[in-house]
A and B are shown apart, each in its own frame.
Chain A
Amino acid sequence: MDYFEKGRGNFWYSTKYRDLMNSLRHMDGMDKIEGADLYQGIGHVLVMAAAIGLSKGLSEPVDTGQKNRNDVFIGGWNNQNLHGQPLAFWAALIVWLEKGDEDAPILKPENDPELCDKFNELAMGGLAYLRKKQFSSGGTDITGYTVINDELSAAILKLKNKK
């Protein structure tokens, strides 16, 4: 069973983040080694970016008619996994958490266009944040990995403090 169907909504990212998406995925600044990408696929990067957007409360309004965008193959969201679970569920979780509605109408298939749009908004918000941080490193963080690492450390610390 597919969790998202083509036609009900689209996952995509703005072409202005293409270089950031690529460098984050492949760590282009380092020697390439087969099977050693930072993220397995573009979908994974978008999930991470959306998680950042969600946690920081950042989103970038989406113009659905925007031409300068790269669609991310919708089938991949059903087949590609992160920690053993389809990306589709991660996207659903992120958007559902953003909505904060226990009844979770956003998970209903008829609301898929809204779910996709919301996800894309959060992901673009996350990417905008990463880019900003990357720029503020003064060119030392070519791959964007330092930002990722800093965010992870901060998140771990925050979780510890929460406990």
Chain B
Amino acid sequence: MKFSNIIITNFRSYYGENKFEFAEDESQPVTMVVGNNGGGKSSLMRAIQWCLYGEDIKEIKHNESKVPTCEVAINFSHENNLYRAHRRITSGQDSFLRLLKIDKKDGRESGEIGEPQLTINGFLPIELKSWFFYEAEGSGAASANHHNLLDGNRYSKDALRKIQGFTKIDQLIEDLDKIHKDKARARVKQGENLEAQHFQEQIDKLEIKLEPILATKISADDDITRYSEKIEDLQEKYRNTPSTKPLQEEMDRLNPQINSANTRLLLKQKKQKSFLADHLVIFLIKQLITKNQTPKQHKEGVQLIRSPDNTDLYSEIKANGECICGTTIIPGSSEDDKVRKFLTDKSKDKDKNIFNSRARGVETVMSTIDLQVEKFEKERIEIKDDIDDIESDIKTNSARVAQLGLDIEKIGNTESKIKKIRDNINDLTSLQTAANATSAKASNKVTDIRESIADLTRQRDMADNNRTMTDSLTSFIKKIGSIKEYVEKKQKQDEVVALTTLMIDLNEAVKKTSFANIQCKIDSDTYAVRVFDTTTGEEKPALNDGDKELIKTCLVACVVGQASKKSQAKNKYLAQATSAPIIIDAPFTKMDVDYISGCVSVLLEKTEQLILLSLPADYKKYEDEVFSKLGKKYAVVRADRGPRNTEDITKYKLFKKDIDLVTFDNVDEHDAESVTQSRIVEVK
């Protein structure tokens, strides 16, 4: 499938008829559409999807109250034929799709296809559209099937197999099996071999028994996938739902810290004041002391007025029994008492000692003052630094608490929402466990029954082999059996080759984007993409949004690339792959800028027709890479009724030209309430 052009009439922001061509040339296969947010890029993608599949899209019509109908027509080629898909909706009615065959020579309608939706689904099945019409930004419906793309599931696997055409071969194998069984049954009936017929009856009974069990298993498997997807969605929602609990906990932790810091600050400030007040005395006195000033008397006093200590002299007099003046001293006599008192009583020196002590104290205080003056600045700064540190802590923590308060207010009460999500996850996990058990039980039964059928078939054939094997029915059965065996074998080989090729392509594509340290492996059972670090050999547990977008885009490009005509010719699979243009809305928005050019080159290499709907800023990131491949260049211009304010209109340098993406020229004299419109303008 390759798009030639599209005509959009009154669809969403597109008013009137808007027709434009898609790039089809192999050397320049890219159609580039650049526009601002809200300009109409996504509406273009929706228009294509609505035309082909008629999905329920809100506000399909431009200005519902004014326009009676809206329609989108796409001209495209498929398998060397030309078609026009044309969908139209009129107020109050369902949309109506026509699929017309177009004559290659004169471009006129040459016939109408009876089952248009079925036919289009045959060209590009609806379940595969998200692989080709890819909303990279991840906000739209089309991206819903993609956000778990790398995690792998049955739908992803089915989709990948379907794109590569393997599901058609599955159907073929099933049909061949049915024919083989029917013919074998007919042969037994024809042969009238009672033993063989007995076995056949048992086989038929088991076949009947198998059907509901298979249905149960398929249903259980569907449930498992459905629950799994729902659980993943809820888990993502759970991860993305902001909780006030950790914020509240942080706040509860910080508040006592702030209170404690405030108390410490108050104490420290008082200590600071006390420190300064105590030093007032120091500085006041220091300025009054002249250099080397000391109480002179004190110095002399220390040397001259000693505390008399005549105890030894008295002991000597007492021992000699005679004073130095010649007086006889009798122990216990009044003379002895007089001499003892005179020589040992220190009370008369007390005042001198006090004076000395004071003078020495005054001198010590003066040296203390000198010392304190020297230490003052250092201690003052230390105290100030302590206060600054505490104040800084309080300021930081208070700002954080204020922010937490605002965040908590903004988030509101999300705890009940979180609990609900968690409960839903638990409920779904229980359901998934039950579905797993049902599936496993059914699977065992299916295996048992199939083994029994195989055993009975062998016994039937042995019983039946007594007959002559030359009749035409037997020959037909043998042929069908051989064909089925070949197709099954080839299908298995093709699938192994396809998966291996896809893995090689994906790793080459990822490597091209300079993302050199990872290797992707695709699980053959689930088709999940597992990403390994090549330096450590360990699986990467979580990828950021940019890396995810990169790998997803590479995977989509590689899958679509495998389905391209070029790859089909090379691979020679039995199956015929689905080929369609790839449209990416808002590509590379989350991707690291270093990887974009590599990713663009992968897309250019793998796809036959590429339509990119990009924001101006994003487009500028990869303009150099893509410019030479641009077959068609468009700007989506938003046309407003008139400037409503004085905002500056940003001019863009797009496609090497200056382009306005907003105009004010849609004033309609007959339509006083004209609203914003989108126009697609080709840039040549």
Which residues of A come within 8 Å of B, CB atoms?
1, 3, 27, 30-31, 33, 36-39, 44, 47-48, 51-52, 54-55, 82-86, 88-90, 92-94, 96-97, 102-105, 107-110, 145, 148-149, 151-152, 155-156, 158-159, 162
Contact = CB atoms under 8 A, between A and B. Distances in A.
25 contacts: A3-B354, A33-B270, A44-B278, A48-B280, A51-B284, A54-B288, A83-B278, A89-B361, A89-B362, A90-B281, A90-B365, A93-B285, A96-B362, A104-B295, A104-B362, A107-B295, A107-B297, A108-B355, A109-B351, A109-B354, A148-B276, A149-B276, A158-B287, A159-B287, A159-B373
Contacts of A155: 280, 283-284, 286-287
Interface string B258-292: 00000100110011011011111111111111000
A55 B286 CA distance: 10
Given A51-B285, A90-B365, A107 B358 contact: yes
B283 A83 contact: no
Given A85-B364, A107-B362, A3 B280 contact: no
Given A85-B368, A162-B287, A152 B279 contact: yes
B372 interface: yes
B574 interface: no
Q: Interface size for chain B: under 10, 10 to 19, 20 to 34, or 35 or more residues? A: 35 or more
Nearest to A126: B284
B277 A145 contact: yes
B66 interface: no
A102 B284 contact: no
Contacts, number: 137
A36 B358 CA distance: 31
Nearest to B280: A152
Contacts of A33: 263, 266-267, 270
A47 B279 CA distance: 12
Nearest to B270: A36
Nearest 9 pairs of A and B residues by beta carbon? A89-B361, A36-B270, A155-B283, A104-B295, A102-B296, A51-B284, A103-B297, A55-B284, A107-B358
B372 to A, nearest CB: 6
Interface string B343-373: 0000000010111011101101110110011
B297 A105 contact: yes
A1 B360 CA distance: 13
B606 interface: no
B350 to A, nearest CB: 8
Interface in B185-205: none
A39 B373 contact: no
B129 interface: no
Interface of B: 263, 266-267, 270-271, 273-274, 276-289, 293-298, 351, 353-355, 357-359, 361-362, 364-366, 368-369, 372-373
Given A104-B298, A149-B273, 20 more contacts: A1-B357, A27-B273, A33-B267, A36-B266, A36-B270, A38-B274, A47-B281, A48-B280, A83-B282, A84-B368, A89-B358, A90-B365, A92-B361, A92-B362, A103-B296, A109-B351, A148-B277, A148-B280, A152-B283, A158-B287
A86 B288 CA distance: 20
B162 to A, nearest CB: 77
Contacts of A145: 273, 277
Contacts of A89: 358, 361-362, 364-365
A109 B355 contact: yes
B266 to A, nearest CB: 6
Contacts of A103: 295-297
B362 A1 contact: no
A104 B359 contact: yes
Contacts of B373: 159
A36 B351 contact: no
Contacts of B357: 1, 3
A30 B270 contact: yes
Contact of B361 (A51, A85, A110): A85
A39 B277 CA distance: 7
B260 to A, nearest CB: 13
B227 to A, nearest CB: 62
